[in-house]
Chain A
């Protein structure tokens, strides 16, 4: 298994390199010379020359890329075009909110979809199963920001369970988490619907397999057959799906942040795009890409561990 893992690792690094190169090309090369945009019309020649020297704009592209890459890996993400601070200073305080949101969303997905999927699969075609099928179909059709708006309307404005205003963790951890639960729910619900569907289908698929018949012939009850055999095998595609879904969860968080006014990476990304503040966009893109690719890699590892059939294929 070690060889396969190393191969995957190499692939991961290669992809990250490719992504960083593409991002660099997209945001540092294609947009052209940023000097005018940053310094404005009235910049003096010395200011222009100093800026260009500092940004290394006179060097050949590949050198610029390498110097950017080495700085990036050291934690220096460059300087914002718009604000007088480094990209890192701009981003750092926002990362926490986005990570919290994604983490809560992930936990909610597990909490909601696992019991539901199991219950639905216990009696296929039964009342719970059919209700779950209808609900999942409906929920999957709602874009996460629409879900966010709906949740906001229902819980903040109608039921008044929370104020539609962001509460930072400094003002109390519990109020902060209570607030974050709602945007997290908006992200989690559509993904939970998909997970429930997948889990239910996976369980039913396993239940139809021959080895379940063998399990029954040994004296297993339905419950013990589920416990001993089905669950573990049925979870394999679900776990891989969830690990890959982390990318979607992050994308979803970015949109949902706008709905609830959460000051996270999403907000920074949007405003940077609107401001043409490319170094920030570039850094966020590469970071997010790194997270997504990293999670996919972990998903692959997890899959290999869970399914012994995949063995250095």
Chain B
């Protein structure tokens, strides 16, 4: 049966500054929902905006003997499971609408249709290709998360390519973007359901299940009077209903097979400090991988044109403003500090994954992660050469410990195809791909 780790009633007050929001998600030893006999491929994509100071990112030396430049320094402990792939290019993002196009094209390599969103049409992204292949047996086919939404960024989107392309990394179909969740509590509830105890959760799932049945009938009834376009919207609604039904059914059977499951405490909401926010999201992703709740995620650690300040590393100006650095030394320094800081936070996630045994190795050994930005030099707003690296052991399929220098202007999509291939999701082509990165 379910056991809630600590009942709130017994811990009337939470102590200490900050402790209230950063709940110890990882303290709860959640066994995998499904029996993890077969080692499953896992893949995840972590995105940062505004490129990198490439001279302080890309190693000088090629091959196994490469050196860590200062931005990447926090990842040195994972050298053996890390590859930098340089000289990749995303042509799909080459346009004046850099900030709008960078997120949507990063995992697809397809330039979307210019529109304010009415008839948005973009390439299906690599994460969703993976989710459709390896995500169908897990509770959630994929998780899409971020730390900022666009509610404070009106007018920041491009006139020709609307906000819809800036708001997500993930497109399930050419017309269905996957919204990214910024609230850890809601991510948690997607993963574990709602309710204070096993009985409440069960009751809730059953009630949800029967409500969904009723909604199907209602939507179908409503649909028959509508034109084709509107019917399509309700089709999406119905597809949502069916997907949640499948999820509830899976939860039911997985709970039944895991009588001793312990559910950790839910995060209270969006943590105030960025570091806590990102940390809580990484905790949830770690949990999701460990409990096999999903095998695919995308995480936008910060948003394009975000003007978040990073006073914790001495950057008092907004990130976007700083990113237009004009090659001025102090601004480049600030950019590098932010990039180094982001990578440091990502490094903590790697440490967590590496500390969790999985099969013969650790979770990190059995995972494929890609980290990077869809911009190179943020001052020039260009998309070549992109800062990108691949992490994890990929169940022995990834050769780490190298700096691979690809041919000039190699499509970034070649790397995506390669990673999908290593995740047991072979595809012939993605966007403008022309092949694979064989060295990986």
Chains A and B form a bound pair: no
Q: B residues near A, CB below 8 A?
A: none
